[in-house]
């Protein structure tokens, strides 16, 4: 059975949505994600623009400006809810890890 789309987010998806708390152009996101993560997470331009299109279709983001080929985006309320849901899921995973390993696992 296929997995439901956006049931959970990949790291790249999570950080793209996190960047869009403030209005950004695609190129801004390509710079911001590695800055936010200390270089741990990178997003390729093909991946970014594919995900932006999917996020638009899902209603997680909205297009705010179009200047030729440059487009800027902003997180919608639905996108904020998805981001919060993913944040709570990650917190629950961390809590489960601590329950198994305790503080020595940190």
Q: State the chain's mean pLDDT as an integer.
A: 92
Domain holding 36, by residue range, is 11-99
Within-domain flag for 6: no
Residue 3 has pLDDT above 60, yes or no: no
Report the number of distinct structural domains present in the chain.
1
| Digit-coded pLDDT (tens) for 19-66 | 999 999 999 999 999 999 999 999 999 999 999 999 999 999 999 999
Residue 81 has pLDDT above 90, yes or no: yes
- Here the CATH number for the domain that contains residue 43 is 1.10.10.10
90 pLDDT band (50/70/90 cuts)? very high
Could you tell me the pTM of the whole model? 0.88
DSSP 21-40: TS-EEHHHHHHHHHHHTTTS
Q: Please state the φ and ψ torsions of residue 102, each to the nearest 5 degrees.
A: 65, -165
Q: In what order do the strands lie in the sheet with 70-75?
A: 24-25, 70-75, 61-67
Within-domain flag for 4: no
């Amino acid at each position: 059975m296929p997995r439901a789309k956006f049931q959970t987010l990949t790291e790249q998806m999570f950080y793209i949505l996190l960047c869009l708390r403030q209005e950004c152009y695609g190129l801004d996101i390509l710079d911001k994600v590695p800055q936010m993560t200390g270089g741990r997470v990178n997003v390729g331009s093909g991946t970014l623009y594919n995900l932006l299109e999917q996020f638009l279709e899902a209603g997680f983001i909205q297009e705010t400006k179009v200047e030729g080929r440059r487009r800027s985006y902003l997180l919608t309320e639905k996108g904020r809810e998805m981001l919060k849901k993913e944040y709570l899921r990650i917190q629950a995973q961390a809590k489960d890890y601590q329950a198994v390993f305790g503080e020595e696992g940190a």
